[in-house]
Every structure is written in structure tokens, then in C-alpha cells.
Amino acid sequence: MNDFDGKVALVTGTTGIGRATARRLGEGGAAIIALGIDLEANAMLQAELERSGVDALVLAADVSIPDQVETAIAAGVERFGGLDVIVNSAAVHPYGTATSTDFETWNRAMSVNVGSIYLTAHFGIPQMIRRGGGAIVNVASVQGHACQQNVAAYATTKGAIHTLTRSLALDYARQGIRVNSVSPGSVRTPILERAARGDDPNADIEAAFRRFGEAHPIGRIGEPGEVAELIAFLCSSKASFCTGADYRIDGGLLAGIGVR
């Protein structure tokens, strides 16, 4: 389990997959720098990590703002001495078509979902190079491969993450930095809960999750911890020959054709 002894990991997003990943990497021995805008979630994650004996620094930061990302990475490096792993999990999920999505919403999706990966790379990769290399994992989505209707901005960002992942992998392979992405299907996260609730505050979320799960051949939705395990593998030395690729973790969702 201690695949990350002596390593320092930066994780964006303190709920859902980000939270599970911070916990998994911390349990594996890594010191954790976690960034999020949800102050309550930040405090909960800090407390969880501390209870588990993990050395952690959970910071309030909007990962779409350069100064905040730069400051947070600098604080983490000062605290822990370097940076070895970056996991980009922070995301927003607007709904809408190209005509119904306003420009502000479109730009926010691009800035958070894609821009944050650029920013953590821009400020984080020089620190990783000083340590002799490292690993980056970007959380994309099956929506980057095959999308639903009414998710124009979100799906576009997830496709962009696949491309940015390949670009980063090629540009920094010789510096010992591996870069991969993971593309989950439906996973029990706050984003999926909002989708399940829709416009009904009294919606039966578990019933909706069961319905979502029926679309996956495996018959259920995924759990954040399952995605975190894949991310941990890709960040570890066990994945030393893996770079520039996307790994689907979707319960078989994209394995078939949805025609009956």
C-alpha cells in the first residue's frame, strides 16, 4: 500500500474523486497538497487526512486563477520540500447546447476543467523536474469519447483534456514525467448527485443512481474509491511504462452500441 512514501502529491478538487484520491495517495505514504473552493469540504478533508496520520495541507484556491494556483503550489513545496505527483480532478459540469450556454458559463467550464490542468502543469512541472520527474493524472470523462445531448461545454472540455494529456506526455517524457488521463463513467460524486436531483430538491437520488447504473453493463454506477485506485496505479512506479494514454473506468459503458 505504501507506494508513495517520501512523495508529495497535489490534488485538485476536495470532493468526490479528488477527495478519494487524496485519501488513497495519503494512505500510500504521500504528503498531500489539496486545493478546493468548497471551504466545508476542505475542512472535512483536512480532518480526515489528519486522523489517518497523513501530512496534509488543504488550501482554499480557485484552480482557474493563476495567482492562486501559483501561491498554493509554492506553499506546498515550501511545506513538504517538492512535488512528485499531480492529480487534476476539479471540474464544473454545466448543462446546455451551444446556443443555450452563455459565454460566461462556457469560459468558466474551459477555465476550470482545462485551464486548471495547464496551470498546475505550468507551475508544478518545474518543481517535478527538480525532483527528477513524476506523474500527472488528469480526470477526464467518457463524455470526451461519446457525449450526451445538452452538455456542449462539459463534453468539449473533457475531449480537450485527452488532447492536453497527450501533449504534456510528449513534451515532458524526457524529463521523467509521465502524463495520463482517466475517463470515468457515472460515479457517485456531488456532480452526479446534482444530475440525479435535477430541478427536484426532493428527488430520490438513490433511485436515480440505480437508473444511471442500468446503462452500464456492469449494472451499477462507480464509486470514487474505485477511480482513486486506478489513479493511484497510474501515479505509481508500477505504471512506469504508461504515458500519453487515456484509461476508461466506465463499467463497460462504451464497450457496446446502445441500440436494442
pLDDT-derived band of residue 75, with 50, 70 and 90 as boundaries? very high
- pLDDT at residue 88, rounded to an integer: 98
pLDDT above 80 for 72: yes
Q: Is the model's pLDDT at 259 over the cut of 90?
A: no
Phi, psi of 135 (to 5 degrees): -140, 140
Q: Which has more confidence, 28 or 2?
A: 28
* Of 88, 185, 189, 188, nearest in space to 139 by CA: 88
The answer to whether residue 95 is catalytic is no
Q: How confident is the model over 137-157, as a mean pLDDT?
A: 96
β-bridge partners, 33: 10, 57
User: What per-residue confidence (pLDDT) applies to 256?
Assistant: 87
Find the length of the chain: 260
Of 95, 118, 154, 247, the active-site residue reads 154
| Model pLDDT, residue 260 | 61
Mean pLDDT, all residues of the chain: 95
Which of 110-114, 174-178, 192-196 has the least mean pLDDT?
192-196
CA distance 26 to 53: 9
Residue 130, classed as helix, strand or coil, is helix
And the C-alpha cell for 16?
468526490
Q: CA 111, 117, 119, 124: dihedral to nearest 10 degrees? A: 170
The predicted pLDDT at position 140 comes to: 98
Q: What confidence score (pLDDT) does residue 51 get?
A: 97
92-125 pLDDT per residue, tens:
999 999 999 999 999 999 999 999 999 999 999 9
Better-predicted residue by pLDDT, 234 or 197: 234
Mean pLDDT, residues 1-8 taken together: 90
pLDDT per residue as tens digits for the range 198-253: 777 888 888 888 988 888 999 999 999 999 999 999 999 999 999 999 999 999 99
Burial label, 254 (beta-carbon count in 10 A; 0-12, 13-18, 19+) = middle
The Cα–Cα gap between 21 and 85 comes to: 12
The CATH homologous superfamily for domain 8-252 is: NAD(P)-binding Rossmann-like Domain (3.40.50.720)
pLDDT digits (tens, 9 = 90+) for 43-67: 999 999 999 999 999 999 999 999 9
Q: How many CB atoms lie within 10 A of CB 251?
A: 22
pLDDT of residue 98: 97
Q: Give the β-pairing of 246-249 and 85-88.
A: unpaired
Confidence of residue 1 (pLDDT cuts 50, 70, 90): low
Buried-exposed string 97-131: b where 16+ CB fall within 10 A, e elsewhere: eeeebeeeebebbbbbbbbbbbbbbebbbebbeeb
| pLDDT value for 119 | 98
